[in-house]
Amino acid sequence: MRLARFQDSFAAALLVPEPATGPPGLASQPGFAVYRNTVMKGCIDALQANYPAVARLAGDEWFRAAAADYARASLPRHPSLLDYGADFAEFLSGFAPAAELPYLADVARLDRCWTEAHAARDETPVAAAAVAGLSRDELGRTALRPHASARWAWFAERPGYSLWRRNRVAADEAAAALTPIEWHGEGALVLRPHATVEHLELDAAGCAFLDACAAGRDLATAALEALDCNPHADLSRLMQRLLEAGAFAEMTTT
Amino acid sequence: MHDDKDTQGHGLAEGSQELSRHKSANVDTILSAGLGLKPLHFEQALAAPADGLWFEVHPENYMVDGGPRLAWLEAIRERHPVSLHGVAASLAADAAPDPAHVARLAALAGRLEPVLVSEHLAWSTWGDVYHPDLLPFPRSNEALLRIAGNIERLQDALRRKIAIENPSHYLHIEGHEYDEIDFLEELVRRTGCALLLDVNNVFVSARNLGASAQAYIDAFPAAAVAEIHLAGHSPDPAFGERLLVDSHDAPVAPLVWQLYERLIARIGPRPTLIERDDKLPAFEVLLAERARADTVLRAPRRIAA
């Protein structure tokens, strides 16, 4: 059998639990299951490593069954498994067994933010002092590019950030037992300005502000978009929090 | 007298009587026994005593734009030799290796200056899908030509020799035109690559296919061996001891240690790695396993006549 044909039929047989086809005489040998199991285990382990808060919240058994469903539909496209499951949050939001657990997709989204922040390009954040020196007029004409590691998400209907934290940050587990989660919309900024991944709560206005910054708008425009979202937003406090967090990496004044 | 010249062009181990010597600004050491390195053990690995110790990683886990993982590996590299053991070049696929993957591997190798680079006699990427496993193929002439070409591409991109590892087998495949050792020797002859002999894979394959592990170990071309792997295996949950799985989730088995000692007695010491990828024990437990291999490597032995 030609090599390419062998690989076509072998790869196809890997995905079928009880293959009727496959390379002649191979899929019926007990050893074929070792390959099928290893491929599936590799995919599921990678998803579990990339989505630890989802796995913790949903439980191992539920998570691994969901991950197997995901893997059967979308095997990895390239060998860097850190990147595997980039659309797992979307998968969960359309996954029938998760219909009553809509917050799993939110938690998945923040797990993905963490992975992307962790592996992002290293760069030095803009210091708060550099911005403090600008006049009000210059400030309006200044654009701040978000740091390469910065990822943010707003969850309008659910406290996505609190749910994620309690399942991802060991120190927050104990606190979780004491304080009930307040059920309202919540967002987060996840970033790695230096060596470790950090995160903070961000409201809808804050997310709109960062969206505008990422689109290259100047701060005057970004401020308007944030106020559009919430007319009472405290923009100077928002700027201060973002700068202290190291959320920007490039400043351009025109 | 040391006239076992590098006729196979492996260039990694300095002949059959010596462990390879690795020199750089910060490291001047004999490569003895090494350990597979996991992020969980970074702190302890960094602090581990350096005498002959080296670490091996899967480069695919470090193909990132930046961040602490890469920074950690670079810190380890300042203290210890590091080897890159690829699992995803898919050299046995009937296709050229993905140029983007090769470029990322070359960039990582350029950054780390690894002491050894290796890959597998297997395929994993087919079409636009990456299968996280090392898949088998019929060792035909067609496959030999394709794989030799793929090894050459990779060696050209990395501008160095790589070592090719013998895989674990679970299936009787029709259409082999070469036995595995002849096939590997032919690859060495055509590409100048070196070989990585995984003793556990030999044991697992021999058991699963009903062959002699000893005969394989005894026939393996000594001069081409640049590195040796030792790992644990486990019985298949459904078929038990009749079907062994190269699971890397257990200590090296006693019979695998015996094969290893037999191999070293014949070919002399070579850089040897303890691989553990699952059910990770404490770092000290791995260091103890590594010390056992180190003892085998450093034992005085008679020079063959």
pLDDT of res. B149: 98
- Residue with the bigger pLDDT between A24 and B75: it is B75
Task: Average the pLDDT over A23-47 and give the result.
Answer: 91
User: What tokens appear for B288 in the block?
Assistant: 């103890």
Tokens 């196809």 -> residue: A12
Query: Does residue B177 sit at the A interface (CB-CB below 8 Å)?
Result: no
Per the DSSP assignment, residues forming a β-bridge with A191 are A198
User: What tokens appear for B193 in the block?
Assistant: 């690559």
Identify the three-state secondary structure at position B22.
Answer: strand
Distance CA(A93)–CA(A58), nearest Å, equals: 14
CB B138 within 8 A of CB B175: yes
Distance CA(A153)–CA(A207), nearest Å, equals: 7
For chain B, the structural domain boundaries read 21-298
Distance in Å, alpha carbon of B145 to nearest chain A alpha carbon: 11
Tokens 């954040």 -> residue: A125
Query: Does residue B74 sit at the A interface (CB-CB below 8 Å)?
Result: no
Handedness of CA B25, B26, B32, B33 (dihedral sign): negative
Among B125, B136, B171, select the one facing A79 at the smallest CB separation: B125
Residue of chain A minimizing CA distance to B70: A119
Handedness of CA A193, A194, A197, A201 (dihedral sign): negative
| DSSP calls for B26-75 | S-EEE--EEEE--GGGHHHHHHS--SS-EEEE-GGGG-SSSSHHHHHHHH
Among B67, B68, B93, select the one facing A7 at the smallest CB separation: B93
Helix (H), strand (E) at residue B131: strand B129-135
Write out chain B residues lying below 8 Å of A195, CB-based: 68, 71
For the stretch B91-108, pLDDT in tens is 999 999 999 999 999 999
Contact B132 A192 (CB under 8 A): no
User: Residue B19: pLDDT above 70?
Assistant: no
For the stretch B261-298, pLDDT in tens is 999 999 999 999 999 999 999 999 999 999 999 999 99
Rg of the Cα trace of chain B? 18
For the stretch A98-145, pLDDT in tens is 999 999 999 999 999 999 999 999 999 999 999 988 999 999 999 999
Write out chain A residues lying below 8 Å of B64, CB-based: 80, 82, 118-119
Please name the residues in contact with B151: beta carbons below 8 A apart, sequence gap of 6 or more.
Answer: B91, B119, B162, B164, B187, B191, B193
User: Residue B4: pLDDT above 50?
Assistant: no
Q: Is the ipTM above a cut-off of 0.95? A: no
Q: Would the pTM count as exceeding 0.80?
A: yes
For chain A, the structural domain boundaries read 102-254
pLDDT of res. A22: 65
Write out chain B residues lying below 8 Å of A38, CB-based: 132-133
Largest distance between two CA atoms of chain B: 53
Q: Which candidate in A6, A28, A35, A74 is best for mutational testing of the B interface (most B CBs within 10 A)? A: A6
User: Residue A220: pLDDT above 50?
Assistant: yes
For the stretch B25-76, pLDDT in tens is 344 456 899 999 998 999 999 999 877 899 999 999 999 999 999 999 999 9
Per the DSSP assignment, residues forming a β-bridge with A248 are A146
For the stretch B130-155, pLDDT in tens is 999 999 999 999 999 999 999 999 99
Query: Does residue A4 sit at the B interface (CB-CB below 8 Å)?
Result: yes
Phi, psi (degrees; rounded to nearest 5) at B252? -60, 135
Write out chain A residues lying below 8 Å of B129, CB-based: 11, 75-77
Report B:28-57 residues touching A (Cβ under 8 A): none
pLDDT of res. A182: 85
CB B150 within 8 A of CB B96: yes
Distance CA(A251)–CA(A184), nearest Å, equals: 34
Answer whether CATH 3.20.20.150 is correct for domain B21-298.
Answer: yes
Contact B68 A196 (CB under 8 A): yes
Rg of the Cα trace of chain A? 23
Distance in Å, alpha carbon of B65 to nearest chain A alpha carbon: 5
Residue of chain A minimizing CA distance to B128: A77
For the stretch A64-102, pLDDT in tens is 999 999 999 999 998 999 999 999 999 999 999 999 999
